[in-house]
Structure 1
């Protein structure tokens, strides 16, 4: 089935559902699980920000490390071999989807599991969708896991 599964995990409810499904699949297939968290420091501030305080970056990284540690603990409890990775956007033109795509290619993921909010209409147009962008750009099979509505 799958030997390497990548799941994006940001601690949101939808990503928790995606992690649970990725753990289930990894356990069933004996796959190695890769859990990635992408730090997007620019998104909360917009494109006009020219300086991000180092303390803020450190805070984002520490929060992400805690999330990854919790995911690793979940994998251990499920008896799934797991590696975690903290990723960061490389430029203002980079996107979370692009970053995840690079990670999937680098680790040789055979499946990527993403949580999706299932937004529609104006909310989707305004907020965008990492999952939608990722699906449009990747060569890898993707499993979208819908959060609780």
Structure 2
């Protein structure tokens, strides 16, 4: 069924739900879990900054590593083989969904699991949906796990 499962994890409550579901599926199928955290070090450019201070980038990366350690510990506690990876957007036109899709392809994921806030209406239109974009661009099945309402 599934040998490799990629889950997007940023430490939020919604991504914790996704991780829990990915762990359940991995236990049932004996799959290896790949946990990815994407940081957008280019976002400050969109806010008018012409450079991103090195200490800010270092802080983003350190925070992401701590988040990935939480996921690794949960997988270990569940008895699931797990690898973690810190991903970064490659350009100002890159997206989190594209970054996750590249990772899924590289690791040979047969399933991608990610949380969704389930926003509707204007909030969805204004904020967009990484989950929706992942469904459109990812080459394998995508399991969306709804966070708390």
Quick check: 2:45–2:51 contact (8 Å CA) kept in 1?
no
Change (3 A) 1:55 1:45: same
Which residue is equivalent to 1:103? 103
Instruction: Map 1:51-62 onto structure 2 (within 5 A).
Output: 51-62=51-62
> 1:37 Cα shift?
0.1
Q: In 1, distance between residues paired with 2:16 and 2:44?
A: 22
Structure 2, unmatched stretches of 5+, are none
Paired positions, count:
149
CA contact (8 A) 2:2 2:31 kept: yes
Q: CA deviation at 1:61?
A: 0.4
The answer to whether residue 76 in structure 2 is matched with residue 91 in structure 1 is no
After superposition, residues 1-149 of structure 1 pair within 5 angstroms as 1-43=1-43, 46=46, 48-149=48-149
Report the secondary structure of 2:131's partner residue: helix
Write out the 4+ residue segments of structure 1 that deviate beyond 4 Å after TM superposition: none
Distance 1:28 1:126 in 2: 38
Distance 1:81 1:139, change over 3 A: same
TM-score when normalising by structure 2: 0.97
Q: 2:44 touches 2:52 (CA, 8 Å); kept in 1?
A: no
Structure-2 change in CA distance of 1:39 and 1:78 (3 Å): same
In 2, the alpha carbon distance for the partners of 1:44 and 1:18 equals 28
**Which structure 1 segments of 5+ residues have no match?**
none
Give the superposition deviation at 1:8: 0.1
Alpha-carbon distance, 1:24 to partner:
0.7
Deviates more, 1:34-43 or 1:2-11: 34-43
Deviates more, 1:9-18 or 1:39-48: 39-48
Aligned-pair distance for 1:45?
5.6
